[in-house]
Amino acid sequence: MTTVPLIDLHADPFALFATWMAEAEGSEPNDANAMALATATPDGHPSVRMVLLKDWDRQGFVFYTNLESRKGQDIAANPHASVLFHWKSLRRQIRVEGTLSPVTRAEADAYFASRRRISRLGAIASAQSRPLTDRAGFEARVAELGALYPDEDSAIPRPPNWSGFRLTPTAMEFWQDYPFRLHDRAVWTFEGQTPGPAQRLYP
């Protein structure tokens, strides 16, 4: 029916993630590291948005944000979340469920310092997720900060309300498109940080 091989149930899910991510980086036109992040309030009201994966290892998947944003407030109240990678060019998805924990201050400082100057200025100037009544005022604030830190090498301090989170998996599900919606799905569930045996799921 297709020459695409079935997902190997004996694979290490992190090694499989690395393979799929590398292939996506070679085929996706933009942001192969983009992922939909779903969070929820303590009473179960969900919200989802696209963020960028900035680091990952066997400890989890890392992204950064304004801690006072909608997602930051959700996470502070309810640390359970899920992310979804969808690579349209490859007809693949990976879904990760787990628990979020803060990155270290050193990790946040290092990543913030690696960002482009204008992105660092924007992170300081933005009251993310709150009403913006005056776009010109926001841009003026960015310009004011730019005058304080006039070049790309400026040591712009990371604001205390900007940091990152690591999603430690409790489950990782891989999905591969097959013709006629006879897709291939495999899920690994975790005992602590150790993936258990994989299970194939009906599409």
> Domain range spanning residue 136?
13-201
Mean pLDDT in the chain? 95
Give the pLDDT confidence score for residue 118 in this predicted structure: 93
- Which whole number is the average pLDDT over 35-54? 97
CATH for 57: 2.30.110.10
Say whether 92 is catalytic: no
Let me know if residue 1 belongs to a domain. no
Domain count, the chain: 1
pLDDT-derived band at 125 (thresholds 50, 70, 90) equals very high
Let me know if residue 64 belongs to a domain. yes
Let me know if residue 165 belongs to a domain. yes
Q: Which of 38-47, 75-84, 153-162 has the least mean pLDDT?
A: 153-162
pTM: 0.93
The model's pLDDT over 130-183, given as tens digits with 9 standing for 90+, comes to 999 999 999 999 999 999 898 887 799 999 999 999 999 999 999 999 999 999
Let me know if residue 4 belongs to a domain. no
* Residue of 58, 181, 185, 200 with catalytic role: 181
Alpha-carbon torsion angle 137, 143, 149, 150, nearest 10: 180
Q: What are phi and psi of 130, to 5 degrees?
A: -95, 160
Let me know if residue 8 belongs to a domain. no
Let me know if residue 35 belongs to a domain. yes
Whether the predicted pLDDT of 1 surpasses 90: no
Let me know if residue 114 belongs to a domain. yes
